[in-house]
Each structure stands twice: as C-alpha cells, then as structure tokens.
Structure 1
C-alpha cells in the first residue's frame, strides 16, 4: 500500500518542488485578494464598534483619540492581518528561492564556461592551433547547417548571415556593421560613461530580441577588458557567405560587480 502511495505522490512532490516558487507567488497573490476582501468585510464591524464606543462615552466621533479607535476596532481585522502576513510570507519565500536558483545557475554557467576555456586550451596544446581551428570550422559548419534547415527565411540575398554564439540565433548584417556595433559599445566602456555592458545591449545593436538571461549577463571593463569578437567564415547550403561569431571573453553573470 505504501509503495503504491509513493508512486502516486512522488511525481506530484517533484512537480511541486520544481514549480514551488511559482505556486507560492500564485498563493501570495490570491492571499492578497483575500486580504482585501476580508478587510472590506471587517470595516462595517469596526465602524459599528466605534459607534457603540461613542454612545457609551456620549462623545462625537472626531473626539475619539486615534489610539482609542485602534484599540476598539482592531479585532475585526484579525483575519485580514493573518491572511496578509501569510501572503507576504509566500511572496518573500518565492523570491528567496528564485535568488538561490539564479545564484546556482550563475555558478553552473561560470563553471561550464571555465571548463570550456580550459578544454580549448588543452586541445590547442595537444593537436596544435591549426588543427584546432579546423575542428572549430567543422563545428561552425554544423551550426550553419542547423540554422539553414530550421531558419531558411534568414538565408536571403543582400546582407550576409551571422550567428550569435550564446543564443545560437542568426541575424543579417554586414561584417563592417558588426564591428562598428562592437566599437560603439567599447567606446562607452573606454569613454568612462559605463563600466559594464549587458548582453541585451549587444543584442539591441545587432537587432536580436532579448532572452530570459541576457539582462543578467554581460561584460565588465575592469574584469574582462574590451568586448572582442572573432569571425569565422562559413557558408550556407546555398553557398552564401555566413559568419560564425566567437567571443574572446564570454559574457558572464554578476558582470556588474566592479574591481
């Protein structure tokens, strides 16, 4: 019997754990609505208590001291206060979980980026820079092949196709314009106007939409230096020129932290 119950409730528990923050936010919002309703319903009761207190004292309402009004009228609002406190707790708890998850995600991403960088260095040491470049070209050609099959609308006449490496998305732009966009961002960094540039700001320059993480990733002039890209030429299935971009320093989380 216990085994059967575990089979039933284990998937449910996993889903609750996975979507716990979203559930907590939903409960918090529903709780806030309930709090408002309870407060509205409590108001006539509170006013009635105040009226009774005035009759007992035979005084006008404006002659009641604020502290007396609070002492007389607070009890009807107890359910609303409890509901409000629980709702705030749910929302704060959800926020805390999100912060922890984002921190874990940032750590995992940075670890993966460092591992990739170390791996690339060792590959170059082992097989040499020229052969490593040949391998990289084959990898880039695979990216272009995938884009050509899934995004045929991007392969058009006119401006060449470029592939942004973090999101793997294509965009059409002359290579000179790509370099000009990089120069504009670097001018903002070197001109003392800004210390960091987000990935979203780079996407704005090349006409790509922001992603879920692009606001939280970027470069810092003090830790990363200037934004630098390399362009690896490739071609689509139709023989059109395609540039696969690579970042010298990958954008990273917590990029806004200074020296």
Structure 2
C-alpha cells in the first residue's frame, strides 16, 4: 500500500505533464541521435576497413558485397538506430496525446454550445409569444404568488428521496432533494471506497446514489483514482426561494470529462 501511495502522485504528474515530458525527451533524443551518428560514423569507417581487409584475403577479385556492408553498418550504427527510433516514438506519442486532448476539449465545447443554443431558443420563443410589458407583468405576478404560496406547492418541485427531511442542492445537475446528512455522507463514502480500489465512478453514479435523476451526459464525467482522486464535497448553505434553507453540496474536486471515444 505504501508503494502504491508513492507511485500514485508520480503517475498523476506524468499524465498531467505528458506533453511537456515527451517534447523534452524528443528534443533531447534529436541531440543524442546526432552525436551518436557522428561517433558511429567514425566507428563504421574503421569496421568497413577491417571487413574489406578480411575479404581481400579470400581468393576473389570481387569487392566487398553489399550484404556484408549492410551487416557492418548495422553493427556500427545500432546505438544511433535505437536512439532515433525512441525519438520518433516520443514525437508520435506526443501527437496522439495532443489529438485526444483536443478532441475531448472539442466535445466539451460542443456540449456547452448545444446547451447555450437550447437556452437561447427557449428565450427567443418566449420573446416572440409576449412583449416586454407582458413579461414584466408576468414576473410581478410570479413574485407575488411566491410570497403568498403554500410551502406544499414549493415541495412539488423538489425530489423526495424518502431518506430524510433535510433540503439539499446538487449544483452540477441543479437538482434539489430531501435527504439526510448521514445518508449523503454514506453515499459519498461508498463511492470513494470504490474509487480508492481503482474503479472509476461517474457523475450518474453519484446522482443515482443520492436518489435523484441521472443525466444523459452524466456517464461522460467521472472521478478516477489517478486523474482526479476521490469525491470531495463540503456542506455549504443557501436559501431556497428566499425562505427555506438548504445544504449545498459544494464540490471541491470536480469530475473529469472523458469523451466516450477515448474511454
């Protein structure tokens, strides 16, 4: 277990800075390959001279065959070949990792744009249906209704999980629900136990454990022992509709977006 605790931060650092590490390694590889090639060229000239001398001892006037020259070249340049292959591997791996990160960011951007466009359409539709004066009148009526409404009517907008009577708000999904602090802590502890064992947990796993509605994108956001660590939530406070206090589940460790194509 102690060895694992030591390896975990090292692995996380390597993943977070993989592009920089591979770029530095590739640049160093270019320099090392050049120096090795210069050194091996001198060695190759000497090896070829020895090979031609040995070949001249044979009863033939033919020059040293190309096959023999190739074998001598491979023996002379093998350090340069290995360094060159490692350098190319670093640059190729850097390109693949960069492509994955760009694809993930692009998908996240598309998700945000889609959500904004849906919101803009709903607002635009409302503006077409009513003019500004009617909207102001409607807002005034809504505020008056909220001030005189019965608490039972407000509770219809909140999810009742049957696990407590304390009002909570989960900020990522924006849902409000009734539960208990003990129940919420148990759910988080259970998920964190699985994360500590190396099993990733998604946002939908958290929402489902809390007894509220999951999201169509909830499986694309997750906590992982190497990338994000455990779920870290603190209890903050807020007031619902200006009257009813609630506990805000303040995420100190947000889930990581993982595009389905790169899982």
TM-score class normalised by the smaller sequence:
0.3 to 0.5
Tell me the TM-score normalised to structure 2 length: 0.43
Tell me the TM-score normalised to structure 1 length: 0.43
Q: Which has the larger radius of gyration?
A: 2
